[in-house]
Structure 1
Amino acid sequence: MVKVLDKLLLFLLSVVVLIACVILLFAAFGFIPLDVANNFAHDVYYDVDAAIPFISVTLIVALISIRFLFVSVRRGKAAAPSIDQRTEIGDIRISMDTVENLSLKAANRSRGVKDLRARVKVSQAGLEIIIRAIVDGESSIPALTEEMQANVKRHVEEITGIPVAFVSVYIANVQQSTPTFKSRVE
């Protein structure tokens, strides 16, 4: 929810800054006459009906700017995403990168795999692991994916102790094997 609110505030701030920049550029190029700018400044200083909306918009933009200044300073301390477990002795934190690397290691044990990528999500049921693979096309894809799923599930659960809800394997492509030619010397 906070990320959606921050995105909305960033959008509003960007629109206001863009409008202000366009107005300032029009004034700098002389498209806005000096007497119009003077009348606007006079109204802001002396007319309450013109000053209240101007002050309101300026305060809102200032508050949004302060919010983003605070967020940018605070996020420097943010830790990498992790999975937290509590034991009798204390807390255990396993980074998502660790689980991804364990998944890749287990999936790479299957023959016929050329390139792998992994993504891990945490759900109520356990870990959801998505493997993206490029295979050599020499092995049966259903057998290969079942082997990868079983290897990844077993390995991650053994090493981390965290239940794996499912392992999804996406075969992105089949890598063509290039025939190797031996050079002949005559």
Structure 2
Amino acid sequence: MGKILDRFLLFIYSLVILIGSIIGLTVAFAWLPKDGVHKFIEDVYHDPFTAYLAIAILAVLALISLRLLYVSIRRTQVQAPFIAERTELGEFRISLETIENLSLKAATKVRGVKDLKVRVHVSPPGLDIEVRTIVDGERAIPELTDEIQTAVKSQIEEIAGYPVVSVSVYVANTVQSSAAARRVE
């Protein structure tokens, strides 16, 4: 809700500044009659309605300015996503980056894997892990993906102690061995 309000205030503030800039430019270029500008200034000094209207508009702009200034200089606390577990001694947290690194460590031990990327999603029953890999093409892909899934699942459940619901493996490509590249030449 706060971000929506700040964006709305920024929109209103920018719109008022734009209109004020256009009016200022028209005065600077003498496109507005001098008598009209003098009359407005006189009204601000002598007509209570015009004075109160100007005071209200300027006070609102000052408040919006203070709010936007505060938003621009405050420190936002962005906390890295994590999973939390409670034990009889208290709570511990494990970052999703740690889970990703453990998954990478387990998957790189599988023979035939060349390049890996891992994403972890937290769901109520446990972790959903997505592994994107490039393989060497020398092993059967179903056997290789099964080994990756088993290695990642057991590594995370053993080391982190958190249940893994699924390990999805996407084989993006295969790499050619240097011997195959030489044969093509």
TM-score (norm 1): 0.71
Q: In structure 2, do the counterparts of structure 1 residues 171 and 50 end up closer, same or farther at CA, with 3 Å as the change threshold?
A: farther
Is the Cα–Cα contact under 8 Å of residues 100 and 118 in structure 1 kept in the other structure? yes
Work out the CA distance in 2 between the residues paired with 1:177 and 1:26.
66
**CA deviation after TM superposition for structure 1 residue 101, in Å:** 0.3
8 Å CA contact retained: 1:128, 1:164: yes
1:134 counterpart SS class: strand
What is residue 149 of structure 2 aligned with on the other side? 149
Query: Is 2:161 the counterpart of 1:131?
Result: no
Q: CA deviation at 1:168?
A: 1.6
- The structure having more radius of gyration, on CA atoms, is 2
1:154 to partner: Cα distance: 0.7
Alignment of 1:49-68 (within 5 A): 50=53, 54=57, 58=61, 61-62=64-65, 64-65=67-68, 68=71
Query: Equivalences for 1:1-186 in 2 at 5 Å?
Result: 5-30=1-26, 33=32, 35=36, 39=40, 42=44, 46-47=49-50, 50=53, 54=57, 58=61, 61-62=64-65, 64-65=67-68, 68-69=71-72, 72-75=74-77, 78-178=78-178, 179=180, 181=182
Structure 1 residues 26 and 52, CA, compared in 2 at 3 Å: closer, same or farther? closer
> What amino acid does structure 2 have at the position aligned with 1:26?
I
Task: Note if contact 2:145-2:169 (Cα within 8 Å) is conserved in structure 1.
Answer: yes
RMSD: 3.6
18-27 or 152-161, which deviates more: 18-27
**CA–CA distance in structure 1, aligned partners of residues 101 and 127 of structure 2:** 14
| Structure 2: segments with no counterpart, 5+ residues | none
Cα distance, 1:48 vs structure 2? 8.1
Letter in 2 for 1:47: T
| Native 8 Å contact 1:45 1:51 kept in 2 | no
Count of residues in Structure 1 that have an aligned counterpart in Structure 2: 175
- Single out whichever of 108-117 and 18-27 deviates more from structure 2: 18-27
Structure 1's 126 and 38: CA in aligned 2 closer, same or farther, altered over 3 A?
A: farther
Name the CA distance, whole Å, in 2 between partners of 1:37 and 1:171: 75
1: distance between equivalents of 2:141 and 2:9?
50
Alpha-carbon distance between aligned partners in 2 of 1:38 and 1:148, rounded to the nearest angstrom: 80
Amino-acid identity (%): 40
Q: Which runs of 5+ in 1 are unaligned?
A: 182-186
1:63 positional shift? 7.2
- The alpha carbon displacement at 1:152 in A equals 0.5
